[in-house]
Chain A
Amino acid sequence: MISVLDFLVPAAYFIAAVMFIYGLKAMSSPVTARSGMIWSGVAMAVAILVTFVHPEVKGNYALMVIAIVIGGAGAWVTARRVAMTDMPQMIALYNGMGGGAAAAIAGVELLKRGSGEVQMDTVTVVLAVLGGIIGAVAFSGSLIAFAKLQGWLKKSWRFSGQQVINLGVFIATLALGVFLIIGEASPTVLLAFFGLALVVGVLMTVPIGGADMPVVISLYNALTGLAVGFEGYVLQNPAMMIAGIVVGAAGSLLTQLMARSMNRSLGNVLFAGFGKADEDGPGLEVSGEMRSIDATDASIQLAYAEKVVIVPGYGLAVAQAQHKIWELVELLQSRGVKVSFAIHPVAGRMPGHMNVLLAEAGVPYDLIFDLEDINAQFPTTDVALVIGANDVVNPAARKDTSSPIYGMPILDVDKARNCIVVKRGQGTGFSGIENLLFFEDNTRMLYGDAQKVAQALIAGIKSLG
């Protein structure tokens, strides 16, 4: 019996690892993405079920089932209920839980080593400690990211000497880690080690503004993968090693892609506050004034346009306006207007965030274009309708060398014949950078909540007959 399980369990883990990689691969195309997720889901189910008969598992089955049911049911309910606009923080939350689990595994293994219950060679103990730090940082960091995006934590704490303190805490954590590896690992040292690692995650994340959160969540996702991979080695579990490192590598690359599309390095996101360039000089003089337009005039412009490009941003997500916007687009299409959507790589709070929201409203993905594909279209566009987007359409990125966003690729809506900007108020946006677009001659401001504005535009177009 035992010998059958000795073969069956590793074989099941092997098959699970193959299916994870296949599933992730299938997820890289919109056509096969769902089937990829099903493959990964089956792989996970197989791996979990077979673990109940894992040769090393000796008891606590009831506790295991209870923990799975509580954790699983809680996540099921929250994940089902959450609005699509709040997805980014939920990913952060579930990711943090994974990081916490990896750290807890490291904790138990190091505890056992400390009491002499298990012997570890140097490689194992080093990976256990590393996975512990990384997992704990991903755990507390993700929770802070969640709290920030959820609006529970509004401030970005910054004070002078912050980086010195952060570095100090980080070095202290590493020092305790080294002590755990070479010295006696008493429960007290372990507690201090994990406590400090959690503090590192918190300190790292509190100064980072909401606009940068997607990059940070992606980074913590990669870190959790890494921690899982390392703990997989400690437990001699190749499925954990492979799945963890695949996610760690893929996540790192994704994080870099995201940072690059904001024209910033990862180090800059993590260690520099946004808007710092403001102090360097007065910047480009803003000339002209903002001109507003009312919904009636705007609907006439849209209704008689040949080609309209819609640029959605976070404002659309906040106002939950995606359904109304699609209604507006369908109305325009029925009048023969050619409408497409232009999505900046970092529009919203995550890359692809806008795509998901538009997909939710039922917008077919072949109407949605990336920055590289649509930018050449703007000079022949009659109306560019910007809805709640700001920095990603700011021409300062092309013109103002002193601007913090200088060099960031933007959507060239200012090159369209007319540009209508739907915006809640007159202030600067998330990053606090003045938007030159709003002062252009061909730009009109349409103030109001995106959903209400869309409603007014629909009514306006319908009244034209």
Chain B
Amino acid sequence: MEGWVALYIFMLAAFTGIEIIARVPAILHTPLMSGSNFIHGIVLVGAMVILGMATTTAEIVVGFIAVFLAAGNVVGGYVVTDRMLEMFKSSGQKKEE
């Protein structure tokens, strides 16, 4: 990929991120931080590619650590966020149950 194309992607992604979070009520700040924490768990994909291409011992060891850490990021991020969001109910929703 050419550097300029990457720069355009970075720029558009940055605006998207700011737009998404700009009008969020304070009540959702913690779940949203936790949710975005989960989303950067996509680093697992990169870690898997690194480990999949690794040939020397050093590469394999560091690649293994990368996959291990990233998997923790993905699973932990998801479970924590899900547990938080599980709790959000309005009084209307409660009465229906």
Contacts and interface: CB of A to CB of B under 8 A. Distances in A.
Interface of A: 13, 16, 20-21, 23-25, 27-30, 33-34, 36-37, 40-41, 44, 47-48, 51-52, 54, 56-61, 63-64, 66-76, 78-80, 82, 84, 87-88, 90-91, 93-95, 97-98, 100-102, 104-105, 107-109, 111-112, 115, 121, 123, 187, 217-218, 221, 224-225, 228-229, 231-233, 235-251, 253-254, 257-258, 261, 343, 345, 350-353, 355-356, 359-360, 362, 364-368, 370
A343 B66 CA distance: 39
A228 B66 CA distance: 12
A79 B66 contact: no
Given A44-B78, A97-B76, A232-B46, A72 B71 contact: yes
Interface in B1-34: 1, 3, 6, 9-10, 13-18, 20-34
A243 B65 contact: no
A13 B88 CA distance: 31
A111 B63 CA distance: 12
Chain B CB count within 10 A is highest, among A63, A82, A237, for A63
Nearest to B65: A104
A104 B69 CA distance: 9
B27 A108 contact: no
A33 B24 CA distance: 11
Interface residues of B, number: 82
A135 B53 CA distance: 21
Contacts, number: 371
A71 B75 contact: yes
Given A37-B78, A240-B46, A245 B13 contact: yes
Nearest to B93: A364
Q: Is the interface of B mostly helix, strand, loop or mixed?
A: helix
Contact of B66 (A91, A108, A257): A108
B39 A109 contact: no
Contacts of A54: 48-49, 52
Interface of B: 1, 3, 6, 9-10, 13-18, 20-54, 56, 58-60, 62-92, 94
Contact of B39 (A13, A20, A90): A20
Contacts of A104: 47, 50, 62-63, 65-66, 69
Contact of B68 (A70, A224, A245): A70
